Amino acid sequence: MRLLTHNMLSSNIKGVINGFPLRIEAEKVVIKEVDFNPDFIKNMFSKIDWKALADASKIMGYAELPEEVPDHSVLDSDEFLQKFHHALLQLHLEEGALVCPETGRRFPVNKGIPNMLLHEDEMNLDATCTSSASNP
Amino acid sequence: MSSRPELQAPPEIFYDDVEARKYTSSSRIVGIQAELSERALELLALPDDGIPRLLLDIGCGSGLSGETISEDGHQWIGLDISRSMLDVALERETEGDLILGDMGQGLGLRPGVIDGAISISAVQWLCNADKSCHEPRLRLKAFFGSLYRCLGRGARAVFQLYPENNAQRELILSFAMRAGFAGGVVIDYPHSSKKRKEYLVLTCGPPSMSTMTPSAKGEDENSCSDEESSGDEENQTVCISDRHRSRKKQKVTKKGKTRSWVLQKKEKMRSKGNVVPPDTKYTARKRKARF
């Protein structure tokens, strides 16, 4: 799983208000080469939660990204884009877990695939129950 | 349609190792999946500016549809409930990221980050109640609600689906509308039983010119793209014309097949999506006697 996906994922458990970002427990990290595409990276920049990405890449053993949110001018620097590209697309979490920041529930990551399946009692359906019952 | 996989077992059990293997070994399945996902991408109508987008593939399975996305140069995240299918996707070394998850539990994604979503033959699974805790309406609501949140404004979602009947199609569509989507059903080749394919094309945001439902393939008038009832009407007209076909009329056609009849027949086959040789000056000509 790339950090791009980690940056999009949030915990979906019932009652959790802010399930983002999921804390990473890294056991095995692999690096896979990906073609560098500046257009995609620039397009993604505005959608990325920077703090989550910087923290996650640090846990994965890559501390090159700046702590504070950089402004748009850095997008012209090729060096920055390369670092951003590496953190976003090339760092893969192969084995480990994602942990919900509120409940502490562990979502295991196995062979790069996070298991986000919820148990019956964690499903976030009850909030919608009342409204749909009234207009079947 | 007794062979619908939806009627046999829940998806995480039906798509076991054996079934998942078919999605790499059978060239027929691979071909169909690629064709479906190409058409879905076409309907997604992403802006043609060469910038790769982040797409969501719901029910990505073994990543066949994802491969089509990768070929178009986009990045994707795939979601599926079957671990066996995802293992096959790993073997195929697909480029997108894979998540084991249930779309009926809602998608746990941040709001507004996804540029588009496709799904090939998956959404109709939501209409099943495979466990005691499953309630199709709630699952549909959770799915469409969470999808609407995670898509950016103006983003599209295209679902290829096989609804079991009209009621199921209406149910799916009504929950999509309730979540705030605009759009409708596009039916390709509505006259053909084999090549007929349905796509649910949804757009985030209020109805406007950009949310118009695209036109379908293989239909002459715009009767089908309209609403879900059109399929019904089609059937009705066929029934009526059948009932009124008199014997006299059949005798007339026996007399000789004129050029206009042949051209009409070929046009009909074309509308079904069949491969038909082009019309030339030789079309419907008689052979020489010595032949």
- Indicate which of A3, A8, A100, A115 best probes the interface with B, i.e. most B CBs within 10 Å of its own CB: A8
Band of pLDDT at residue A136, cut at 50, 70 and 90: very low
Distance CA A102, CA A135 (A): 33
Average pLDDT (A27-51) is 86
Q: Among A34-48, B13-27, B206-220, B262-276, whose mean pLDDT is lowest?
A: B206-220
List chain A residues with CB under 8 Å of B138: 125, 128-129, 132
Chain A residues within 8 angstroms (CB to CB) of chain B: 1-2, 4-5, 7-12, 19-20, 37, 39-40, 43-44, 47, 49, 89, 111-118, 120, 123-125, 128-129, 132, 136
Q: Which one of A1, A6, A12, A110 makes the best mutation probe of the B interface by having the most chain B beta carbons within 10 Å?
A: A12
Average of per-residue pLDDT across B259-283: 90
- What token pair was written down for B33? 């999946």
Shortest distance between the Cα of B251 and any Cα of chain A, in A, equals: 54
CB contact under 8 A, A40 and B52: yes
> How sure is the predictor about B210, in pLDDT bands with cuts at 50, 70 and 90?
low
Strand B197-203's sheet: what is its strand order?
B97-100, B75-80, B54-58, B114-120, B151-161, B197-203, B182-188
- Does the beta-carbon distance from B110 to A8 stay under 8 Å? yes
Asked whether the beta carbons of A41 and A88 are under 8 A apart, the reply is yes
Token code pair at residue A41: 């990276």
pLDDT score at B232 = 41
Q: What average pLDDT score do residues B159-186 get?
A: 87
Task: Average the pLDDT over B19-23 and give the result.
Answer: 77
Better-predicted residue by pLDDT, A126 or B197: B197
Tell me the average pLDDT across B140-151: 89
Task: Decide if pLDDT at B238 tops 50.
Answer: no
Nearest-neighbour CA in chain A from B233: distance (Å): 27
User: Is the CB of A8 less than 8 angstroms away from the CB of B114?
Assistant: yes
Which residues fall within 8 angstroms of residue B191, CB to CB, at 6 or more apart?
A: B218, B219, B234, B268, B271, B272
Say if residue A126's pLDDT is above 60: no
Give the per-residue pLDDT at B255. 57
pLDDT of A129 over the 60 cut = no
Answer whether residue B241 shows pLDDT above 60.
no
CATH code of A3-120, in short, is: 2.20.25.10
> Which of B109, B138, B139 has its CB closest to that of A8?
B109
| Residue A135: pLDDT over 50 | no
The number of residues in chain B equals: 291
Inter-chain touch B138–A124, beta carbons under 8 Å: no
The confidence score (pLDDT) of residue B56 equals: 92
Cα separation of A2 and B93, whole Å? 14
Q: What is the pLDDT of residue B152?
A: 85
Residues B95-141: tens digit of each pLDDT? 888 999 888 888 888 888 888 999 988 888 888 777 777 788 888 88
Q: How confident is the model at residue B248 (pLDDT cuts 50, 70, 90)?
A: low
Span B29-38, mean pLDDT?
86
Tell me, yes or no, if B94 comes closer than 8 A to chain A by beta carbon: no
- Mean pLDDT (chain B) is 79
Q: How far, in Å, CA of A1 to CA of B219, rounded?
A: 43
Tokens of residue B78, six digits: 């795939």
Is 70 exceeded by the pLDDT of residue B240? no
Distance of CA B167 to the CA centre of its chain: 17
With bands split at pLDDT 50, 70 and 90, how would you rate the model's confidence at A125?
Answer: low
Identify the band that residue B267 occupies on the pLDDT scale cut at 50, 70 and 90.
Answer: very high
Q: H or E element: which one contains B233?
A: helix B230-243
- What pLDDT does residue B57 have? 92
Higher pLDDT, B214 or B71: B71
Q: Using an 8 Å Cβ cutoff, are A114 and A22 in contact?
A: no
Residue A123 distance to chain B (closest CA, Å): 6
| Mean pLDDT along residues B136-156 | 88
Q: Are B77 and B66 in contact (CB under 8 A)?
A: no
Lowest mean pLDDT among A42-46, B63-67, B232-236: B232-236
Distance from CA of A67 to the nearest CA of B (A): 21
Mean pLDDT for the stretch of residues B240-246:
48
User: Which of the residue ranges A79-88, B34-43, B186-195, B203-212 would you say has the lowest mean pLDDT?
Assistant: B203-212
Task: List the single residue in A with minimal CA-CA distance to B112.
Answer: A47
Q: Which residues of A touch B54 (CB under 8 A)?
A: 4, 8, 44, 47
Residues B53, B35: Cα–Cα separation, whole Å: 21
Q: What percent of chain B lies above the pLDDT cut of 70?
A: 82
Q: For residue B266, what pLDDT band results from cuts at 50, 70 and 90? A: very high
Say whether residue B263 is in contact with chain A using an 8 A CB cutoff: no
> Comparing C-alpha atoms, which of B129, B148, B121 is closest to residue B7?
B129
Which residues in chain A touch residue B46, judged by CB atoms under 8 angstroms apart?
none
Query: Does residue B186 surpass a pLDDT of 80?
Result: yes
Residue A45: pLDDT over 70: yes
pLDDT at B225: 41
Quote ipTM for the complex. 0.83
Listed in sequence order, the residues at least 6 apart from B166 whose beta carbon sits closer than 8 Å to its beta carbon are B228, B229, B231, B232
Query: CA-based angle B117:B118:B123, to the nearest 5?
Result: 110
